[in-house]
Amino acid sequence: MKILGIESTAHTFSCSICEYSNGKYAILSNEFKKYPSSKEGYIPRKLVEFHEQNYEEILLTSLKKSNTKFNELKAITYARGPGMGHTLHFGYRVAKSISDKLNIPLIGVAHSLAHVEISNYLGKLKDPLVVYVSGGNTQLMIKEKNNYRILGETLDIGIGNLLHTAGRIIETNPTDAIGLMTFSQEHVTKSKGTPEILELPFTIKGMNFNFTGLQSALEKKVSEGKHSKNLLAYSLQETALSILCEGIERAITLTGKKEFTICGGNARNKKLIEMCEEIAKIHDVKFYACPFEYCGDQAGMIAFLGAKYYNSKFTPESNEPNQDVRLENEVIPK
C-alpha cells in the first residue's frame, strides 16, 4: 500500500511516498525545495509563486525515486495546517486535484502531529514527553488516550520564529536560525575559558514560555552597537534554549516520564541536542532526537501520518485547510 504525502505549510514544497508492508512503514522518497532565506523574510505571495514553479518537478521526482506509478496510490494526504493560508491552500489544490483525478481518498492531516508521530515511530518510543520546537510552535506534551495533552507552550511566538528573526536582526549569514547557530558557535570557539554572555530576559511561567521580550531586548542591544554579532548570537540562543530546557526539566519532574523526544524544525539545533543529552543524564531518562531529515518541513512525515490514518480507517472531520489547527484536538491514529 502506497500513500502520496504533500507538504506546503510555509517556505517548503515537498512530496513523499510512504509504503506500508508487512506491518512496517517505509518512506521511499522525500523530495523538497525550500524558498531561500533573506532579510525580507517570507512573503506569502512569493512563497506560492515559488511552489507553483517547482511542485510538478518535485512530485514527478518523488514518484520516480520511489518507483511508483499514479495508479498504485491508495490515498493522497496533505498538511492542512497549521501554517500560512496562501501556501496551505496551494497544497490543498494540488492534493485535491490528484485525489479527484485518481478517484481515491484525500486525507488532510495536522503538520504538527506529523512531526510528533514520525519521531515517536522512528525512536520506538512508548510513552514519552514530547518537546515540539518549530517556527510557529513551542510545546511540551504527553499522550492521554487518543489525543495529546499540552503541558506548556509559548504564549507569544515559537522559539523557531525567535531564532530565525534574531538571525535577521543580527544579520548573520545566512540570516536565519542556522546562521544564528553558526555565529553562536564561533563565539564559543573564539573564547578563552567560559564564553562571555549578555544578560537577557529569562521568562517562564510554570511550563509556558514568553519569547517576545527576549527579541525586544536583542533589538535594543543591537541598536546600541556595543557588542559583536557573535556575542549577540550566543547570548540570544543560549538564553532561549535555557528557558526551553527549564520547561523540559519541570515537565519531566511533574510527569515522571522515563523518555523524552524533541521534534520539529529546531530539533536540528546542535546546542539544544547537547543540552537535552545533559538533561537525560541528570534525570536518568532516555532521550531521542528526531533524525535531521525528518525535523524540518518535508512530506515524509505527512505521508507517514496519512498512511496511519488510512490503515486505521479513520477519516478526519475536515479536509479543508485550517491555519489554526491545534494539535491537542487531533486524534492520534492507531
State residue 291's pLDDT score.
97
Q: What confidence score (pLDDT) does residue 334 get? A: 84
CA angle 285, 286, 292 (to 5 degrees): 140
- Read off the pLDDT of residues 165-198 as tens digits, 9 standing for 90 and up: 999 999 999 889 999 999 999 999 999 889 999 9
pLDDT for 318 equals 80
| Cell numbers at 277, concatenated | 543529552
Look at residue 278 in the predicted model and tell me its pLDDT. Answer: 98
SS3 245: helix
- Give the DSSP H/E element, type plus range, for residue 129: strand 129-133
CA contacts within 13 A on the Cβ side of 58: 26
> In the prediction, which pLDDT does 283 show?
98
Q: Cell 510512504 identifies what position?
A: 18
- Residue stretches of the chain with pLDDT short of 70: none
Domains of the chain in sequence order? 2-116+296-329 (3.30.420.40), 129-256 (3.30.420.40)
Verdict on whether the full-model pTM lies above 0.85: yes
Angle at 109 between CA 106 and CA 115, to 5 degrees: 140
- Count of helix runs (H) and strand runs (E) in the chain: 9, 12
The grid coordinates listed for 292 are 535531521
For position 316, what pLDDT does the model report?
77
Note the pLDDT tens digit of each residue in 290-328.
999 999 999 999 999 999 999 999 877 788 999 999 999
